[in-house]
Amino acid sequence: DEAIKAGSARHPIVPLEKGQFYKYGTAGFRMKADLLEGITFRVGLLASLRSRKLNGQAIGVMITASHNPAADNGVKIVDPLGDMLEQDWERYATALVNAQSDDQLVEVYNKLATELKIDLSAPSKVIYGRDTRPSGHKLVTALVSGLEATKSEHVDFKLLTTPQLHYLVRATNSEGTPLAYGKVSEAGYYEKLAEAFVRAIKGRKINGTLVVDCANGIGGPKLSEFLKYIPKDKVNFDVKVVNDDVLRPEVLNLDCGADFVKTKQRAPPSPKPQPGVRCCSLDGDADRLIYYWVDPESGFVMLDGDRISSLAASFIGDLVEGAGLKNDLRIGVVQTAYANGASTNYITQHLKLPVICTPTGVKHLHHVAQGFDIGVYFEANGHGTVLFSPDALNAFQNTEPQSPAQKDALDTLAALGDLINQTVGDAISDMLLVEVILAHRNWTLRDWAMTYQDLPNRLVRVEVGNKDLFETTDAERRLLRPEGAQDEIDQAVKKYKDARAFARASGTENACRVYAEAATRSEANELAERVAHIIE
């Protein structure tokens, strides 16, 4: 108790105005970095409780604010399999962080231990990493104080992408078991991806150069490191890494990166886009991916998370059929309300695969995707992955092929099982997946874009007095409250062809977001403005 009190005094919480609370949100605690020191200390306390509760399995803590500006930071907890913190525990995190004094903190901590029947002398292990933000240093110090105050073992993996930390958590907990996920090191992550990439490409040619914009974040140095692991004699992968300046913190996510490209619907101004060249952007912690190119005729064309999702579902669906497993494995796609309606139609009508819609936030999609043998999930913003069930992985390994074509399909599926990060969306791994598919199909980005045509859409951010007044249902597609608002939205939507719109409170900012799509760009814009006006 004394150690916790002393640590808490060294890493104090910044008090909020009366009636306001810190909340473990969609992406953990995320805000201006100077508010986070005390929070991160307390997250350390929670992480060691969680590890003790789970028989000393390693818990992860990642310090990052993803695509947000350099002055922000964030802290989130990773569960033993590499997925997000179990939802029930979010409120325990919230309770610890909102304790009003050092004494009260100790009280809440001990109360949680008693209520959750946690033996405080049991072993605990926490591993952690951070992105390139300068504030990360101080937050790591606070985290370590929390871990030492609670006598938890801890391992510092230093600078990492978010998905690398998720990988390391799973690898740590599965080491030496039949389900071993990979070597417990950053090099182990690169080795696993590079080996699976070579197996999945199987000598096929990758066309042209790929320009990768790394948002001036951690993805830059990590991608450059990864590329050294690709055997040049086996795969000819010509990658140009750009926007990889991590020495000037102020340029992080500035006019570049996946979030910029997706929200502005244009290429980063620098380096000047070369017409026809295949490009993609990662976000600041390398868990989101967006592809695009500038067409000499039609201008900028973007291939976002919905496109990656439909590409992956189509390719894997074909492989499963080729492997003779169509009747054995259930493939499904998980999206959010932001998915372009055209992608949903393409997947259900053309690929004939089921689509489930969940609320925003990776944890929701991940959870639902686990219900399929092969669950493809992506948010439109480029965050996502493909999950394979143990049955699926088993079938890829142990089905006796009756023809060379069937063997080829089984081998490729098995390679994808290793290539695709099974813990969380991973921009580097997803990028390799896209490159594999394009190589197999001998497709350019234009071929990919031709599979269907996106409905024009518009996203607006609306300042509202109190975003908590907005309550949604039906996976955030309809408003329950404020009363009457949904009726008005319905009336507005009716005025347009092929239109759809919804409003929801942001989980990461104090604002509401409105999404609208319609048959033409001007109608989508108009509808978005109308709905914004309704909820203002």
* Half-sphere exposure for 393 (CA within 13 Å, toward CB): 14
Asked if 509 interacts with ligand 16G (CB under 6 A), we say yes
- Contacts of ligand 16G in 408-437 (CB under 6 A): none
DSSP SS3 for 288: coil
Distance CA 485, CA 478 (A): 9
The dihedral of CA 13, 104, 114, 26: what is its sign?
negative
23 neighbors 98 (Cβ within 8 angstroms): no
Helices (H), 468-520: 485-494
Q: Taking contact as CB under 5 A, which single stretch among the options 166-174, 244-252, 282-290, 329-337 is the one that binds Zn ion?
A: 282-290
Q: Which of 79, 90, 102, 285 binds Zn ion (CB under 5 A)?
A: 285
Pick between residue 105 and residue 303 the one whose CB is nearest to ligand 16G.
303
Give me the phi and psi of 98, to 5 degrees please.
-90, 5
Q: How many CB atoms lie within 10 A of CB 2?
A: 8
508 binds, among Zn ion, ligand 16G, none (CB under 5 to 8 A by kind): ligand 16G
**In the complex, minimum distance from the CB of residue 224 to ligand 16G, in angstroms, rounded to a whole number:** 24
Q: Residues touching ligand 16G: how many (CB under 6 A)?
A: 14
378: which 2 tokens?
Answer: 């992506």
Active-site annotation holds for 66: yes
Helices (H), 181-230: 186-201, 219-227
Q: Taking contact as CB under 6 A, which single stretch among the options 210-218, 305-313, 445-453, 505-513 is the one that binds ligand 16G?
A: 505-513
Pick between residue 209 and residue 506 the one whose CB is nearest to ligand 16G.
506
Asked if 306 interacts with ligand 16G (CB under 6 A), we say no
Q: Taking contact as CB under 5 A, which single stretch among the options 58-66, 165-173, 207-215, 406-414 is the one that binds Zn ion?
A: 58-66
Q: Which residue has the tokens 């370590």?
A: 144
**In the complex, minimum distance from the CB of residue 528 to Zn ion, in angstroms, rounded to a whole number:** 25
286 neighbors 214 (Cβ within 8 angstroms): yes
Q: Which of 192, 222, 307, 513 binds ligand 16G (CB under 6 A)?
A: 513
Q: What is the dihedral of CA 22, 28, 34, 35, to 10 degrees?
A: 10
Q: Which of 207, 345, 506, 520 binds ligand 16G (CB under 6 A)?
A: 506
Q: By 3-state DSSP, what share of the chain in percent is helix, strand and coil, each rounded to 5? A: 40, 20, 40
Compose the 340-369 pattern: x for residues touching ligand 16G by CB under 6 A, - for all others. Answer: --------------------xxx-------
Name which of 233, 237, 247, 300 is nearest 432 in CA terms: 237
Q: Which of 8, 11, 13, 26 binds ligand 16G (CB under 6 A)?
A: 26
- The type of residue at 275 is P
31: which 2 tokens?
Answer: 């805000």
Q: Which of 287, 418, 517, 526 binds Zn ion (CB under 5 A)?
A: 287
Q: State the residue number with the nearest CB to Zn ion.
A: 66
Asked if 131 interacts with Zn ion (CB under 5 A), we say no
- Contacts of ligand 16G in 210-229 (CB under 6 A): none
Q: Taking contact as CB under 5 A, which single stretch among the options 61-69, 299-307, 345-353, 362-370 is the one that binds Zn ion?
A: 61-69
Starting at the edge strand found earlier in the chain, the sheet holding 374-378 runs: 355-358, 331-336, 374-378, 384-388
**In the complex, minimum distance from the CB of residue 523 to ligand 16G, in angstroms, rounded to a whole number:** 23
Pick between residue 341 and residue 507 the one whose CB is nearest to ligand 16G.
507
Q: Which segments within 183-273 are labelled E, that is strand?
A: 209-213, 238-242
Q: What is the dihedral of CA 119, 125, 126, 127, to 10 degrees?
A: -170
Q: Taking contact as CB under 6 A, which single stretch among the options 137-145, 192-200, 486-494, 504-512 is the one that binds ligand 16G?
A: 504-512
514 neighbors 462 (Cβ within 8 angstroms): yes
283 binds, among Zn ion, ligand 16G, none (CB under 5 to 8 A by kind): Zn ion
- The type of residue at 441 is R
Pick between residue 332 and residue 425 the one whose CB is nearest to ligand 16G.
425
**In the complex, minimum distance from the CB of residue 506 to ligand 16G, in angstroms, rounded to a whole number:** 3
Distance CA 99, CA 106 (A): 9
Q: Name residue 282's beta-bridge partners.
A: 289
Pick between residue 287 and residue 418 the one whose CB is nearest to Zn ion.
287
261 neighbors 300 (Cβ within 8 angstroms): no
Say which of 8, 48, 51, 66 is annotated catalytic: 66
Pick between residue 325 and residue 514 the one whose CB is nearest to ligand 16G.
514
**In the complex, minimum distance from the CB of residue 283 to ligand 16G, in angstroms, rounded to a whole number:** 9
Please give the residue ranges that form the binding site for ligand 16G (CB under 6 A). Answer: 26-27, 66, 360-362, 379, 381, 383, 506-509, 513
Residues classed as catalytic: 66
